[in-house]
Amino acid sequence: MPLDQTTTCQTSFQVDFACLGRTATHHDTDLSLLELAIGNRIPHMQECGGHGRCTTCRVRVLAGEEHLSPPTELEKRLAGQRRWGPSVRLACQAKPRGDVKIERLVKTLGEVSRLQAEGVSDERGEEKQLAILFCDMRNFTSFVEANFAYDVVYIMNRLFSVLGEPILANNGLIYQYVGDEIVGLFGLDGRNPEEVCLAAVRSALGMESALQHLNIELQQQFGLDIEVGIGIHFGKVIVGRVGHPSHQQFSIIGDAANVASRVQAANKELSTNILASQTVLEELPPDLLALGKIEEVELKGKSRPMRLYELTGFAAPDDIFLIQKDLYLLFQNDSGFAGEFYELLFSIAPSARQLFRNDLEGQIGLMGHMLKGTIYALSRPQNLKMGLRELGRRHAGYGVADEHYDLVGKVLLLTLRKRLGKAFTPETEAAWKRTVELVFKYMKEGSRHKRPSATRKDRRRQAV
């Protein structure tokens, strides 16, 4: 017999989050799957804050599909556009009315950027202007010959992991790995050319910074220092799905991709690390970047020389880059930073422990997840604003007041100083202060504009 609302309000039901070993027990049919996850401190992607403006909260229903509210019009439209099966739902839209078993489909922040390729048609190509980044490891052949096979695979995986993070943090898509090469694409989401090229530049500079940190580790373990060359070009390509009907894959086709590869290769000739073509610089404000060599270079396959620019940094502090460049140090251990934060918080303000009396361990995991998510969302400001306002709304329901923000901001900066050490320069500290102020501004806005019945729902979640 179908359960009506009166029955479900009196009968508890369970939502099983597969692969996490977590179960949420509840009886309120007015709560979405996402709200249940949040109320039970279960990490769940929700970049827009559960407003149906993104698809990061999507889940696959493994059992109990009949116990969920019918798909909304938004879900129906997205399912058609993105070729979802009936078992895929948005957690912010689906409301359980009985026992359900689900799995999260977007588990990491890196997967958020990959969602951009979903909108590419199976049937036709589309012309887009993209910033294309090629990163190539130098002296790869001698490196392979000098190391054991297992060590080569381990080192390459570490390298690609570390170099991939700046691409993903800047809303880029890791397009492919070819031997010792990693390729990143920026602009698939249709943003304006300036934002696209700036994201690619931040990514390139972030890769250089991340490699410096990685080389300290590799020098200790293998006596090895890795060098890379990075090239960026902005131009038109055709985007589509190409291949046998049974095995099509996302592809880009066009001269711009070839040019980006050759811009990267020119690093060897010019003895540089990062080069960008003139098409990239033309889309950016004058004097934004610190430049080194500027050379006219003949690239293979081009009839005329192309002007290339060596990128050495930003001419003035760029807050997003200053925060992103230390991702490697911050999140070597996701829960480590959050644990240090709460230890310091409770030593300064013991009474704050009462806010987390039910599940501190779960809160530590959520805090690390939230901090990393906020850093990644800096490259998607509209989602960032919505997500933080929703976060502030929920925190108001948990009893967080304006005075708590000042304390949290102070402790966060102290924890960053301890965690980053010498990397926490005055410029980096100033960037974090400005960013924390912006984050808290949006959260406070959310706390003062609550959804109808939000406080009642939050109290219910806390009581469970």
Q: Out of 27-31, 125-129, 150-154, 192-196, which region has the weakest mean confidence (pLDDT)?
A: 27-31
d(CA 305, CA 298): 4
Provide the pLDDT for residue 115: 66
What values do phi and psi take at 152, rounded to 5?
A: -60, -45
Q: Residue 449: which residues within 8 A CB-CB, separation 6 or more?
A: 389, 393
DSSP state letter for 3: -
- The secondary structure of 165-205 as a DSSP string is HHHHHTT-EEEEEETTEEEEEE-TT---HHHHHHHHHHHHH
Q: What per-residue confidence (pLDDT) applies to 2?
A: 45
Is residue 234 within 8 Å of residue 129, measured between CB atoms? yes
CA gap 114, 136 in Å, rounded: 21
Residue 49 is predicted with a pLDDT of 76
Integer Cα distance of 178 and 162 in angstroms: 16
Q: What is the pLDDT at residue 123?
A: 63
Quick one: pLDDT at residue 3?
A: 42
Give the residue from 366, 360, 348 showing the smallest Cα distance to 410. Answer: 348
Residue for token pair 């080192």: 155
Say what the pLDDT of residue 338 is.
86
pLDDT of residue 334: 63
For residues 10 and 258, the model is more confident at 258
254 exposure class (CB count in 10 Å sphere: 0-12, 13-18, 19+) = middle
User: According to the model, what pLDDT value does residue 422 have?
Assistant: 92
- Cβ contacts of residue 255 below 8 Å, gap of 6+? 235, 301
- Least confident window among 252-261, 262-271, 332-341: 332-341
Q: Indicate whether 252 pLDDT > 60.
A: yes
Amino acid at position 169, single letter = A
Closest to 137 (Cα-Cα) out of 202, 57, 214 = 214
At residue 9, does pLDDT exceed 90?
Answer: no
Token readout for 276 is 């960008």
Q: Any idea where the domains of the chain sit in the sequence?
A: 5-107, 110-316, 324-463
Tell me the percentage of the chain whose pLDDT exceeds 90. 44
Pick 232 or 252 by higher pLDDT: 232
What average pLDDT does this structure show over 206-232?
93
User: According to DSSP H, which parts of 47-129 are helical?
Assistant: 73-82, 109-114
Q: Which of 81-85, 165-169, 302-306 has the lowest mean pLDDT?
A: 81-85
pLDDT tens profile 376-387? 889 888 788 888
List the Cα angle 48/50/51 in 5-degree steps.
75
Rounded CA-CA distance 33/39 in Å is 10
**Alpha carbon distance 231, 309 (integer Å):** 10
Q: Nearest Cα to 270, choosing from 241, 239, 299? A: 299
Query: 3-class SS at 50?
Result: coil
Q: Which CATH class is domain 5-107?
A: alpha beta
Single out the residue of 370, 120, 130 nearest to residue 249, CA to CA: 120
Answer yes or no: is pLDDT of 323 > 60.
Answer: yes
Q: Which two tokens stand for residue 274?
A: 């990062």
Residue 127 has pLDDT above 60, yes or no: yes
d(CA 29, CA 13): 10
User: pLDDT tens digits, residue range 393-451?
Assistant: 888 887 888 888 999 999 999 999 999 999 999 999 999 999 999 999 999 999 887 55
- Helix, strand and coil content of the chain, in percent to the nearest 5, comes to 50, 20, 30
What architecture (CATH level 2) is domain 324-463?
Answer: Orthogonal Bundle (1.10)
Cα–Cα distance measured from residue 272 to residue 277, given in angstroms and rounded to the nearest whole number: 14
pLDDT value of residue 358: 64
DSSP for 387-424 reads: HHHHHHHHHHHTT--HHHHHHHHHHHHHHHHHHHGGG-
- The Cα–Cα gap between 48 and 228 comes to 35
For 237, the enclosing helix (H) or strand (E) is strand 228-242
Residue 267 or residue 11, greater confidence: 267
CATH architecture type of domain 110-316: 2-Layer Sandwich (3.30)
Q: Which amino acid is at 177?
A: Y
